[in-house]
Amino acid sequence: MNNNQQPAHTLRLILGDQLNSQHSWFAHQQDDVLYVMMEVRQETDYVLHHAQKIIAIFAGMREFARRLQLAGHRVHFLTIDDPDNLHAIPANIEKLAQMVQAQEFQYQAPDEYRLDQQLQIFAQTTALRCYMFDSEHFLTQREEAGKIFEGRKKWLMEHFYRQMRVKYQVLMTGQDPTGGAWNFDHDNRKAWSGLPWEPEDFRPRHDHSALWETIQNAGVKSFGEPNASEFAWPLHRDEALTQLQAFVRLALPHFGDFQDAMSSKAWRLFHSLLSFALNVKMLSPREVIAAVEAAYSRGEVSIAAAEGYIRQILGWREYVRGVYWHFMPDYAQENAFDHQAELPTWFWTGKTKMRCLSHAIGQSLQQAHAHHIQRLMVIGNFSLLAGLHPQRVHEWYLGVYIDAFEWVELPNTLGMSQYADGGVLATKPYVSSAAYIDRMSDYCKGCQYDKKQRTTENACPFNALYWDFFSRNEKQLASNPRIGMVYPQLRKMSAEARQDLSERAIYLRQNFDAL
């Protein structure tokens, strides 16, 4: 795969989440430029990753390199088992620069703080002339959200989202939002009864068995099911575009109604599963937004479906990136409730008697994917109520999901899910008792635990943990106007009832592995 025999003036680094074939770098072939890609233990080992995540990124990188070479570009690709691989990006760059007598090093802005810092330090210490380029992917700059909220006490995604709608003229009729409202979230909360049935899985299939064997032989540790022989994630941009088109045609018409629904019978429902392709930059957010908006314009989907999906891309995705770059590096250590508990062992196996968690975690281990409500209102909900250490929760989310890169995962986990930032990202803790899970899913049906009980031996653990969470954190949360009737209800309970809830919650927290 390498084409590095001749000297090269410039080395250009392409990271595993920078598979953007539309980048201006590739508009012209240059004989004195050598593109560098590498599979390194630095990147496989900084957190324990799902097997499918490692396979997907490696396979995508290899295909990207192959296509660059076919287009006439020079490429040096270090595989995970290459004996010349030093398994650290700076060391590999320095070694290769000496080999080809390079004088200049160029790289696209990394999306993760740790890589940004590493390459900045390298640029300051190497003899090579170093230049950083934009990745040409996002609609906003790193610091743009910070400027929008400068001087404001609270960051609200809705304020940011409306500005983005106006700036990019997305779903706008002049200066007014199309459909007469900025947000149709109230139309996006229907439970799914089984009809309409989810569309066929429109993703491609690949046999990556040989690659998976190479990864294992190299000693890379992972968890989750590799599914290497029937691998269902896109390998390159063409497949990602086909997946986008299939989603718009087959699933988007029902996405709005059921985007928050959960079912043990259909794990995909009407979700696009495009987040991996987006986050490794096979697709751009602009073209995804344009495809959805065009479907609405053609009358193929409702305004609620189109707006609900576009809000995730133009609003939330860009917003959390802004939060990440504004508040890092301190943000990564936030722990507002001082939660210290370690993850139960069933986070790694899915083997718990709680049917909702067994399904959501089991699906995550099997598919390397779960949708936002499974992540937030099942797994994240339990983690917060149970007092799990937010950094351990963050590391698990970062590892288990195929689309998880720290810029997007960290604010979603520490801020939105665990409220560990004390309310910077979310206006309230997103927690619930069994009632919400039952309303939005079929998980409670057939569960060993009783969704209506609070303190009995077979009571759903979410119930006691829910009330005890608010009881324990009354000083921090009682004045929050978005929490609603929780504290008035707590104050109506007898001292004995509150004590029973507290004792049950303590028992549950001491016996997580038995649940």
How confident is the model over 506-515, as pLDDT tens digits?
999 999 999 9
Mean of pLDDT values over 271-281: 97
Q: Report pLDDT for 28.
A: 94
Question: Three-state SS for 42?
Answer: helix
pLDDT at 346 over 70: yes
Comparing 184 with 337, which gets the higher pLDDT?
337
Average pLDDT, integer, range 487-510: 95
User: Residue 139: how many CA atoms within 13 Å on its side-chain side?
Assistant: 29
Give percent of the chain above pLDDT 70. 99
Question: What six digits make up the tokens of 493?
Answer: 């309970």
Q: What's the chain's average pLDDT?
A: 96
> pLDDT tens for residues 368-393?
999 999 999 999 999 999 999 999 99
pTM of the model: 0.95
What is the residue whose two structure tokens read 């106007």?
481
Phi, psi of 459 (to 5 degrees): -70, 145
Backbone φ, ψ for residue 35 (5° rounding): -80, 135
Instruction: Round to whole Å and give the CA distance between 507 and 493.
Output: 20
Cβ 269 vs Cβ 192: under 8 Å: yes
Output the pLDDT for position 152. 84
CA distance 328 to 142: 11
Mean pLDDT lowest for which of 7-16, 36-45, 149-158, 174-183? 149-158
* Local confidence band at 5 (pLDDT 50, 70, 90 cut-offs): low
Phi, psi of 221 (to 5 degrees): -90, 150
* Per-residue pLDDT band at 413 (split at 50, 70, 90): very high
CA 385/CA 326 separation, integer angstroms: 28
- Give pLDDT, residue 189: 79
> For 301-322, what is the mean pLDDT?
96
Instruction: Indicate the pLDDT class of residue 280, thresholds 50, 70 and 90.
Output: very high
Give yes or no for a contact between 60 and 282, defined as CB atoms under 8 angstroms apart: yes
| Confidence band for 154, pLDDT divided at 50, 70 and 90 | confident
The residue among 90, 75, 78 whose CA lies nearest residue 121 is: 90
Report pLDDT for 153: 78
How many Cβ atoms from other residues are within 10 Å of residue 489's Cβ?
11
Q: How far are the Cα atoms of 84, 91, 109, 124 from residue 127, in angstroms, in the given order?
A: 21, 13, 20, 8
Q: How far apart are CA 302 and CA 295, in angstroms?
A: 9
